[in-house]
Amino acid sequence: CFECGKSFTTSSGLKQHQHIHSSVKPFKCEVCFKAYTQFSNLCRHKRMHANCRQHLKCVECGQYFTSTTTFNKHKKFSKDKYSCKYCGKNFPRSANLTRHLRTHTGEQPYKCKFCERSFSISSNLQRHVRNIHNKEKPFRCLQCERCFGQQTNLERHIKKHKLGTSIFNSNNLNVTFKE
């Protein structure tokens, strides 16, 4: 971890730990809406609601809910929808829900065979391999012939041409782009 120097054996462990240093609190209590940086802290917190919990059961799917808000949201969107058990967000396909659940769990099942990186989405792994390991740069600037691994990086670069922005090239020489 760049912030505190703590080491982790997996990139997903590091990613989850880094929430502690930021304001990101992805794990929310459905009863009182208190948020936590770690899933384990949310689980510990939920135990205090054990006696006051409302057990609302959906007769359609059998799922239990701890607040009327999430239960009503579930009822509204439950027709052929997939609902997140952590935040109640609904998705049209199970694959969308599976991908979303990883934002709560920190799971990164797609491992790079060339390095230690892991990803929660397979397309992110594919892009990583193309750009980092295969050094592919298929996006070319038509004005200066510079190549980029991602479309977004090319678009950002093109804006510099349009703005006449000064940047430093690889030789640390100041270059001003002009149309």
Return the CATH number of 53-105, one of 3.20.80, 3.30.160, 1.10.10, 2.60.120.
3.30.160
- Alpha helix locations (H) across the chain? 11-18, 39-46, 68-77, 94-105, 122-128, 151-163
Q: Which CATH superfamily is domain 1-41 in?
A: Classic Zinc Finger (3.30.160.60)
CA 136 – CA 50 distance, rounded (Å):
53
Indicate if the pLDDT at residue 16 is higher than 70. Answer: yes
- Distance (Å, whole) CA 179 – CA 172: 22
Nearest partner of 119 among 27, 11, 37, judged by Cα: 11
Q: What is the pLDDT of residues 99-140, one digit of tens each?
A: 899 989 999 999 999 999 999 999 899 989 988 899 988 889
What mean pLDDT value characterizes the chain?
79
pLDDT beyond 50 at 59: yes
pTM for this entry = 0.43
pLDDT for residue 172 is more than 80 = no
Using one digit for the tens of pLDDT, what is the confidence trace for 65-86? 777 777 777 777 666 578 888 8
